[in-house]
Amino acid sequence: MCAKLLILESPGKVKKVQEILGSGWKVAASVGHVRDLPVKEMGVTAPDFKPQYIPTDRGKEVLSRLAALVKNAEAVYLATDPDREGEAIAWHLQDALKLKDAKRVTYSEITDSAIKEALSAPRAIDMHLVAAQEGRRALDRLCGYMVSGPLSNAAGEKLSAGRVQSPAVRLVVEREREIKSFQSTTHYTVEATFESVDNITDGWKAAWQVEKWLACQEGKLPRSASEGAATAAPSERECLTGSEADRYMVDKGIAEKVAALRAFEIVDCKETENASAPPAPFTTSSLQQAASNALKFTPKQTMQLAQKLYEGGHITYMRTDSPNLSKEAVQALRAFCEGKGWPVVDKPRTWKSKEGAQEAHEAIRPTHVEIEEAGETADEKALYRLIRLRSLASQLADALYAVRILQLKAAVDGKTVLFEAKGRTLLAPGWKMLTQQDATVDAEADSDTQEPDNPVPAMKPGSVATALTGTVLTKKTKPAARFTEASLVRELEKRGIGRPSTYAAILDTIMSRGYVKTDKRNLVPTPLGETVVDALRCKFSFADYEFTRSMEQALDDIAEGKAEYRAVVAKAHAQLEAELQTFAKASGKACPKCGKPMVHRVKKPGKDGKGGYDFWGCTGWPECKEAL
C-alpha cells in the first residue's frame, strides 16, 4: 500500500488540491461522469425502472486508470462536487471500482482549511441524493425517448422533446406571440418645469398624476377643491374607451390644456428618508443574470468561468440556490470592511430564500476577501470582481437618501389637476460606494438608478408655484420585452423549472437544437421551436409549467428521503404512456394491437445494398412486436 487516494471530478482541481495535501496523498480526477445510460436505447424500463449504466467512451479509460491507483491506495476518498450530480458520480465510482470502504468528503471551497476539515469528517454516500439524480436522468430519458419519435412522425419532421427544455422553449414562443399580438396605445402626460424658489436652480420638474385625473372622472376623487366629492358626468369620459380609460390619457386636447397651466397651489410637502438595501450575495441564478447584464456573458460562459475560479481556489462552489453566507464568511467580510473604515451594517444581513430552494451550500463568495484580483484571464478577473464586490456590499449599510415630495394642484374646466414633484439627495452612499446598482437587474429597468436629479424646493402648503413651461409628452404602451438569456433564467427560477445546475444547460440545449436563436442578445423562437411547442402543448403534461414545477419538487422530495425513486418515476411513466396513446390515436399512428404509438423506423441500405429497412414499429417492443 502507498498513498491515500483522493478522487475528485475536474482535472483542473488536481494540482491545487495536491499542493494542499502534499506527500502521502495521490489526487486524481474522474473527469466528470464515468458511466451513463446507453446512447442508442432508453436504458430505463418498467416495472422497476432500474437504470442500465455502461461506461462512457472516456469513462472506460478513466476507470482503468483509477482502478490501478485504487489497488495501491491505503484508503480511497471520493471528493466529487458537493451536489446531487457529484454525489451520483461518487456512487458510480464506488460501484464501478468495487470500493468496499470508500470515504465520501465534500467541501465548498478549495482552501487548505476547508479540505482538511472535510477529510477529518468523512461520511457514507448519500443514496437519497443519488436517487434524486437518477430520477432526473430517468425522467429526462423517458420524455426524450418516448415522445420524440411519435412527435416527429406527427409533425413530418425530426423533432425532440425535453422535460425541462420544452417548457423553456414554450416560454420564449408565448412571449414572442404576446409581442406580435400586442396593440399599442398612444397616450399623453404632461411635465411642468418651475421657476426658482429659495435659491433652487431653475428646472425642477413636476409630473401630471394622470391616474388620479382618470379616477376623478370615475367619481373617485373630487372634481375641484370647492366641489368636494362631487362626481364627474359620464360625458366627461367620452374620449376614453374600454380598459384604456382606466389607465391612460388618450385625449391630447385635455393634455394640451393641462400643459398650458402656469399657477399651481402647493397641497402638501413631505420630507422623508429612503433607505436602499444591498442585493444578496450571488446564487447560481443571480450570478448568471448579473454576468449577462454587466459583462455580457452567456450563462454557459459564466459557469465555465466560475468553474475555473472555483478550481483555482478563488471562489466557493458555484452551484447553489442559497443567498446566505456562512457565519465564518460573514465575520470575515465584516472584519475586512471595518478594517477599511467602510460603513458596516449593525446586524449581519440574511436573506429569505426562494420557495423550493435546497440551500445545500452557501452563496457564492471569494474564498479570501482580501484578494482584490483573481483569475487567469480578463473574463475570469471581471467575474471575480463582480462576485467579490457583491459579497462585500452585502454587509455594508443601506444607501440613505433625503426625499422631498411636493403635491401641487390647479384646475382645468373646473376639474382638479394634480401634479407631483419628487427629488432626492444622497445622504450616505452605504453599499453603493462599491457598486452602484444590482447588476442582476437590467440598468434600464432598475428604478433605483432611474431617479433623476430634481432639486425640489421646500414649499409650504397654500403657497403658489409658477410653471415656466408645460410639455405634453407623447407615449406609447409597449409589450413585454423579449427574453434575454438572463431574464429567461430568472423566469425559469421563478416558475421552479430546473435547478441551479441545469439553467445553463437548458439554454444551451434549446439553442443548439435550433428551437431558439438570439437577436441582439434577445431570444427569439424559430419556426421549428414554434412547431415543437404547438405539437406538445395541451397534449403532454411535461410541457405544462405547473407540472414541471411539481416534478422538480418530487425530485427534491426524493433527495430529502420523503419520496421513493420508483414511485415517482412509475407515476410519471404511466401518465406519459396514457398521453402517448391519446396522441397516437389523434395523429393516426397508433398500434392496431396494443394502442401504443407506432414509430417510423428507417435505415438506408449500405453500399452493398443490404441492411436497410423501412417500417412502422410499435413503441411497446419487445412486449408488442407489431410492425406495419
Q: How far apart are CA 85 and CA 129, in angstroms?
A: 8
The answer to whether 482 and 176 have CB atoms below 8 angstroms apart is: yes
Could you give the count of Cα atoms lying within 13 Å of 608 in the half-sphere of its Cβ? 2
Q: How far apart are CA 600 and CA 423, in angstroms?
A: 68
- Nearest to residue 189, comparing CAs of 209, 204, 205? 209
Q: What's the Cα-to-Cα distance from 50 to each of 54, 95, 128, 131, 602, rounded to whole Å?
A: 13, 15, 15, 11, 29
For residue 474, give the H/E element and its range. strand 464-476
Choosing from 317, 384, 401, 565, the catalytic residue is: 317
Question: 317 catalytic, yes or no?
Answer: yes
Q: How far apart are CA 267 and CA 222, in angstroms?
A: 14
Q: How far apart are CA 560 and CA 132, in angstroms?
A: 9
Buried b (16+ CB within 10 A) or exposed e, 391-430: bbbbbbbbbbbebbebbbbbeeeebbbbbbbbbbeeeebb
Q: What's the Cα-to-Cα distance from 528 to each of 160, 169, 355, 515, 516, rounded to whole Å?
A: 10, 10, 33, 6, 8
Instruction: Report the DSSP pairing between strands 76-78 and 103-104.
Output: parallel
Phi, psi of 80 (to 5 degrees): -70, 170
Q: How far apart are CA 388 and CA 382, in angstroms?
A: 10
Cis check for the bond before 167: say yes or no (omega within 30 of 0): no
The residue assigned the cell 461522469 is 33
Q: How far apart are CA 481 and CA 442, in angstroms?
A: 12
- Residues that are catalytic: 317
